[in-house]
Amino acid sequence: MSDEQLLRRWRLVLGRYARQSLDTNGLSTHEQQLEQSLDYLYGRAYDGKGMTPHRQRGANLDPSQVQAIDWLQRVRKLFPHDVYERIQQHAVENYQMAELLQDPVALRSLEPNHALARTLLGMRGRLGAEMRDAVQDVIRAVVEEITRRLRQDFVNALVGRRNRFRRSHMPSAQNFDWRATIQANLRHYDRNSQRLVIEQPRFNARIQRKLPWDVVLCVDQSGSMLDSVMYSAVVAGILSSLPAVQVRLVVFDTNVVDLSHMAADPVQVLLTVQLGGGTDIGRAMEYCESLVRTPQRTVVALISDFDEGALPGPLLRSVRRLAESRVKLLGLAALDEDAHPAYDRKMAQRLAGAGMEVAALTPTHFAEWLAEVMG
């Protein structure tokens, strides 16, 4: 990269405040558009600190001259898709571009992704009634994408275990039988390229589960659990669609709310939960205890950061009673948005000592864990 190219790149990074310091012989038309689009957003960092100098004359993207929706459309055209998504996330989360969240048209123009859904759920109570349908559309798009990624993992894990003696015509990566595939395609070996040409991939069938299981998802809806609440709602929706699985969905903070009647609709669950408040895990587990009908075929999964706000005695006693009755107890520790464990390890150890299996897992690994417990 030449010195001139490096200077021009630094000009774009530093924005209009570097115009006099960095002599770049002027920016091209495209580079000026990049600078103006970035300045519309990141110049707010200076505005918020009272550091905004007098705006220079000439073409600019001052808020009085451009609407947020116009800015979004321009950014979408100027930048690669992944960069556009990052800029959009910064606009909503870091720079409080309220105009994006007060105009249904602007909101629907945003890229529906996990970060946007988190933001909308976090500030749902502060949005006007006219935004309700737009918010629901965004949440639905994100839920459908998460469901698409996770559903097959749960279906493969929970509908039945692989039967290596039966073939299936339904292709599935998890059911792929590589030994049988090699054996069936040896005659297609290409000696010149020294490669095996696969014309007939082989897949195993699965043994269907016959006896029903009750799965109680006990989900912490305190403010720190937003990501876990989103995934738990999706998991409840997937489990509700599977045969031989009866799902109960319970959410809690200091109060306990049974949302089992809407477990099959994760969008409605997310629009119903009240994020925030304290945490009384013991009260929630005592309620889940009252739901158990067939202990030996019941799984109670506690999804929480285990940061108990009440005295721990009721929680630990409830876990011990459930364990003694042979209920399968799973403690799914909270993960942050980067999939790093974020939970009270001391309480997790106490729960494990009372009879609960505790792990910090992604939703995909939770499917495998659940299948192993129910197998």
Give pLDDT tens digits for 316-326: 999 999 999 99
Q: How confident is the model at residue 215 (pLDDT cuts 50, 70, 90)?
A: very high
Is the pLDDT at 193 greater than 50? The verdict is yes
Q: What tokens does 53 get?
A: 């100098």
Pairing of strands 203-208, 160-168: antiparallel
What gap in Å lies between CA 83 and CA 362, rounded to an integer? Answer: 26
What gap in Å lies between CA 284 and CA 300, rounded to an integer? Answer: 11
Query: Do residues 370 and 361 make contact, with C-beta atoms less than 8 angstroms apart?
Result: no
Backbone angles phi, psi at 302, to 5 degrees: -95, 115
Residue 270: name the closest of 280, 259, 254, 281 by CA.
259
Whole-angstrom CA distances from 97 to 26, 68, 80 are: 30, 8, 21
Give pLDDT tens digits for 245-262: 899 999 999 999 999 999
User: What is the DSSP annotation of 309-347?
Assistant: -S-SHHHHHHHHHHHHTT-EEEEEE-B-TTS-B-S-HHH
pLDDT (0 to 100) of residue 261? 95
pLDDT (0 to 100) of residue 12? 65
Dihedral angle, C-alpha 72, 78, 82, 87, nearest 10 ° = -40
pLDDT (0 to 100) of residue 19? 58
Average confidence score pLDDT of the chain: 78
Q: What tokens does 139 get?
A: 């949440």
Give pLDDT tens digits for 90-138: 776 666 566 666 778 778 877 888 877 877 787 666 667 778 888 889 8
pLDDT (0 to 100) of residue 327? 97
pLDDT (0 to 100) of residue 101? 67
Residue 36: name the closest of 94, 99, 88, 78 by CA.
78
User: What is the DSSP annotation of 220-239?
Assistant: E-SGGGHHHHHHHHHHHHHH
Output 172 or 159, whichever has higher pLDDT.
159
Q: What is the pTM of this model?
A: 0.67
What gap in Å lies between CA 158 and CA 368, rounded to an integer? Answer: 8
Report, in this order, helix, strand and coil percent for the chain, each rounded to 5: 55, 15, 30
